[in-house]
Structure 1
Amino acid sequence: MITETEMQRILTVLKNPRDRAFISSLYDSGCRIEELITLKNRDISFDQYGSYFQLRERLVTERSGLWAVQLPCPCS
């Protein structure tokens, strides 16, 4: 497991906002890489608190739900 301090160190090293958002989303949601890369625009929404995405799993197990993920600001 990666601690929160280690995760912050990883995010500070990443310069590309896309990479930071991808790694942060994986860490915060606990989803699989395949689940994250198959997201569609309709699965992602934004509000004043951050972004939310809904995972749609094709397997029989129930993991679908909403996860609040605070993505790094692309302007920093």
Structure 2
Amino acid sequence: MKAWLVPAASLLGAGWFFATAVIAGVVIGRWADGKTGLEPTFTLIGIVLGLAVALFGGYRMVQPLLSRLDDEPPE
């Protein structure tokens, strides 16, 4: 297996997680705004929560990759 394949797959997964978390926060916020009539409030809360989840989860997903790269000697 190629040496670059595992890091690339890890970063691709983290990117998809980041996008999904932010989009889910926006969609849920828009839905809550439609139900309550408080137009931008829940959308903004959803964006902030989606970004927080994305940053925390993305960091947790990339952390093993970064520690593995630190352990490998440079070529």
Normalising by the residue count of structure 2, what TM-score does the alignment of the two structures yield? Answer: 0.27
Which has more helix, going by share of residues?
2
The structure having more radius of gyration, on CA atoms, is 2
Which has more strand, going by share of residues?
1
